[in-house]
Amino acid sequence: MQIEVVDGVVRDLQVIGGCNGNLQGIGALVKGMKVEDVIARLKGIRCGFKATSCPDQLATALENMPRE
């Protein structure tokens, strides 16, 4: 994942791998959102029987990014 965050707001998201169409949609939806809001909405979403999902991984990545 390549995530651009400026002043606590997601400016761009590029994901390599995963479900391309869904991830493009997620990227479009989270642009302009505050990082905390993205985490709150996406954290804990599961994919089928897996313990995680692409949205959950995005939330985890945002949680682990250094804060400005």
- Domain extent at residue 60: 2-64
pLDDT surpassing 70 at residue 68 = no
User: For the chain, how many structural domains are there in total?
Assistant: 1
Number of H helices, E strands in the chain: 3, 2
Q: What predicted TM-score, i.e. pTM, was given to this entire model?
A: 0.90
The whole-number pLDDT of residue 34 equals 98
**pLDDT tens digits for 14-29?**
998 888 888 999 999 9
pLDDT surpassing 80 at residue 48 = yes
**pLDDT tens digits for 27-43?**
999 999 999 999 999 99
